[in-house]
Structure 1
């Protein structure tokens, strides 16, 4: 069958969907997924790291089942749903190229990260909302270009979806900025009215996040702009831009990057380009170029670009010759098949294959956390961990919350909200670790401490058994250091409450 035909798209859709369901069933719940699972177990208007959307989605899914395959369903079907949305929108956006709709839908479906990524995270909701918002914006631009009535409805839809993206992750600001740049380019009153509608839709979402953060230590601000960057190398360097280039070459494929580069190198707008096509160029270029500038100072994660990959692929189709488009779809199909074969082979290997890797203990815990807990003989004591990823995974596998005992890191500190150490005063606590504890690390927190270790599947684990948890000592040594390092709210931010300081240090300021 022709590689750019509707039959090929349907075949690719069915095969990739089967593969993604299999992969979702084969993979254990990862640390990030288990961490967000606890957001769904206790939904709120906000969470420590990010806005609340993925917590709300998981809360809804948990009313049916807590199985990993079910919780991953929105991510499993995401490439197919996005491809169908693009396939539906394409003839209305570019009627002169309506025959390419199956090819562009196939590209979305077979983009490398969309082939294998079945892990549900904050990016799941963000990608849905951002891509659909962008399509609605482009539809509004096309409507204005064609002189249609009621274009404001497309701007309203774009705004509501952008508000959903804002409630998913703060990267949504890049898409909102792209809309601003596009309005500046168009210089039309209708464009400014449309932008006003879009931004107005986001005000309630932003207001909700400001309200929640002001009563919760401004944790979203502290995490995203302060704590996660402490100690990190944020100086100018040339290594991370090269890494970003490699990331783009992977997520878009080298041929697609070459087509886009030729478009950029022309540095001109031809008369044949429609207003919709110029707007599409900005939706793809503005975020990716901002990431390129940021890459000189910070590593750009692969998942950061996922919300804007579809726009870049749409742009590739508009600027690639028909022969190049067929080659690109063929390459993506072959590359997807390579992913399938590679992951199937890796899944067939025994876990012990990876014993020589430093991450092997983490792999064992991720796959066999429940067996590790049995080997640790927790008994009636409270199970805890020394890290947030391990705690979330063990908690998911046990279906009971596992707190983090110790200072932890600047990442994933939602446990500070879930755990009240005052209520655990005097309890016996058992800590399961992948690394040996430092001498005397736990002595001041308990009346008595014993440490033993065991080997499981070739990996060594340590068990710290603490009798009689001393909350007062823990507050003065660990919690006070956490307060000073992670809860130093700037004076210029209005603060109506802070769970951490109100709970443990009512006589001290979180400033």
Structure 2
């Protein structure tokens, strides 16, 4: 160095994916291919079978959730048949536009031009970002449209044309059609409008209100469906917030531990750092940090409150991960790549550690479940042995002349209804879950069988008048018994409502 000008920092190999666009793109593409491989080879979990049933009867609403996941599944099954890959095809491919939105949002929100590649890569290497877009659940479209909402809001900071206000509204409506927790993201954006001075002034113009109207118009098919069906979905999901509760703070620690694991520990650390005042320089100065803070902290406040009384399922905050990936990128771009301090060493380890977590989880889900943990293995319990169980139960049904199958477990019911599409399979204690299948009451008259995880034939005799246990069928995988199922024969003489 002869002129006193500062030299560019030397990039270390461990940081290459963070700093070099081709490597970042390559790793992102690899995660999409890995998702496709999982989608093709891993059997459907019960929730996926349930949503796949929805896709056979498209509607503007269902008992549990709004309809977007059914709309996502249907094109894949039309193209590839009712296979695991067919069910998961569109959710997996939605990783591509979701990644694009996160990439572009980071470019508009974070000061460093490298942030787009970093945020996109970080998102795809988190366990929740990867698996959330590898399985066919409502989280897949929710994550996609939350990323779209983040991108539209990021553009709105630099370009207040009406188009971007309307884009935020449309993305919000699509997210609400995916899962009602999108309302928390909408609330976060509403707080951001109050925090960003330029947006606050725009409240006197029609465009913020046009965005709200656009969201309601897009969401209106589900609102109309609910109005015509006794507000079924809204009542069910709203019950989570209105039910009586007791103070149980152990769920708070569980929630935090789950998110540290699902984000991977170092990504979680830098996401938190990126939202702290000390990292303000990493953000553009026009309200970018305030926007992401509002989008993250408003839903997080609700989850923390909920965790004081009940379990927060690990996937619930999945729609926050696009914004968290951007926050991670903001922090990572501020930490020097070649310094010798502890934070720089952690920065260098962020991508390798996340990649290691993801590689282990991917191999475990694909190659395993091994049988070392037996029925305690969650992957084994959710994915294995269903086809054999379905065949065994259908054989018993045909041999006994049973016309229908009743269950008392929506996951078991979903798997059997998916595997036996020509047989009426109904969850007796929540039959409204399966009203969309349109089973005629006359189809549930006469001899039938009840399949349960517990020996409850005495209770069934009290409900149905007579009940005879005729078999116990195990669900097995590689010699491991995952669960035993009790098969009880009943006879319903009239088409009266199913006893609860």
TM-score by length of 2: 0.82
Offset at 1:173? 0.8
1:168 to 178, 182, 186: 178
Map 1:53-64 onto structure 2 (within 5 A). 53-64=68-79
1:200 aligns with 2:213: yes
Q: CA separation of 1:139/1:361 partners in 2, compared to 1, >3 Å: closer, same or farther? A: closer
Offset at 1:332? 1.3
Corresponding position of 2:468: 450
C-alpha RMSD over aligned residues: 3.1
Figure out how many residues of one structure are paired with residues of the other and give that number: 461
Corresponding position of 1:467: 491
Corresponding position of 2:120: 105
1:222 aligns with 2:244: no
The question of whether the paired residues in 2 share the 8 Å contact of 1:130 and 1:307 is answered with yes
Distance 1:42 1:8 in 2: 43
The question of whether the paired residues in 2 share the 8 Å contact of 1:30 and 1:366 is answered with no
1:382 aligns with 2:403: yes
Alpha-carbon deviations, 1:34-74, whole Å to 9, x = none? 11112111112211112222222233434332212111012
The 3-state SS of whatever aligns with 1:3 is helix
Distance 1:269 1:364 in 2: 48
The question of whether the paired residues in 1 share the 8 Å contact of 2:274 and 2:327 is answered with no
For structure 1, which runs of at least 5 residues remain unmatched after alignment? 145-150, 483-511
Alpha-carbon deviations, 1:312-354, whole Å to 9, x = none? 120121133143544322221222222233334424x35x962
Q: CA separation of 1:263/1:26 partners in 2, compared to 1, >3 Å: closer, same or farther? A: closer
2:197 to 187, 195, 210: 187
Offset at 1:221? 2.4
Q: CA separation of 1:207/1:374 partners in 2, compared to 1, >3 Å: closer, same or farther? A: closer
Distance 1:72 1:123 in 2: 12
Map 1:13-412 onto structure 2 (within 5 A). 13-64=28-79, 65-94=81-110, 96-117=111-132, 118-144=134-160, 151-188=161-198, 189-190=201-202, 193=205, 194-226=207-239, 234-262=245-273, 266=277, 273-320=285-332, 321-323=335-337, 324=344, 325-347=347-369, 349=370, 354-355=374-375, 365-379=385-399, 380-386=401-407, 387-400=409-422, 402-408=424-430
The question of whether the paired residues in 1 share the 8 Å contact of 2:44 and 2:383 is answered with no
The question of whether the paired residues in 2 share the 8 Å contact of 1:378 and 1:430 is answered with no
For structure 2, which runs of at least 5 residues remain unmatched after alignment? 1-12, 338-343
Q: CA separation of 1:154/1:401 partners in 2, compared to 1, >3 Å: closer, same or farther? A: farther
The question of whether the paired residues in 1 share the 8 Å contact of 2:457 and 2:467 is answered with no
Offset at 1:377? 4.2
Alpha-carbon deviations, 1:337-377, whole Å to 9, x = none? 22233334424x35x96257799787655352333224424
Q: CA separation of 1:357/1:122 partners in 2, compared to 1, >3 Å: closer, same or farther? A: closer
TM-score by length of 1: 0.81
Distance 1:154 1:418 in 2: 40
